[in-house]
Structure 1
């Protein structure tokens, strides 16, 4: 189990859990920069919200 460094939620991370399956985050767009001050993994909700916000900025 991993803990989101942004909101503190617990979530499953295949890499941290030692799974042979790819992590859920590999299905998301890879071209979104994560802020440098955000060390560690984010939960699905936080990462998806960040991706959506970054995509919205690009469309404006």
Structure 2
């Protein structure tokens, strides 16, 4: 906003700590601990910074 640069930010959220989950799968017999996360509403976070945001759930 200060420099007038049109920046796009894309958040790909699968609701997992991916690398941690992968290590638990490979080395700890799939005993998952603290890898399922609840994310904030990123659209609301963007609005808090006066930035437009949209949520896309369609996989197409």
Regarding TM over 0.5, the answer is no
Structure with greater strand percent? 1
Structure with greater helix percent? 1
TM-score, scaled relative to structure 1:
0.23
- Flag the structure with larger Rg: 2
Structure with the bigger RCO (C-alpha within 8 Å, sep 6+) is 1
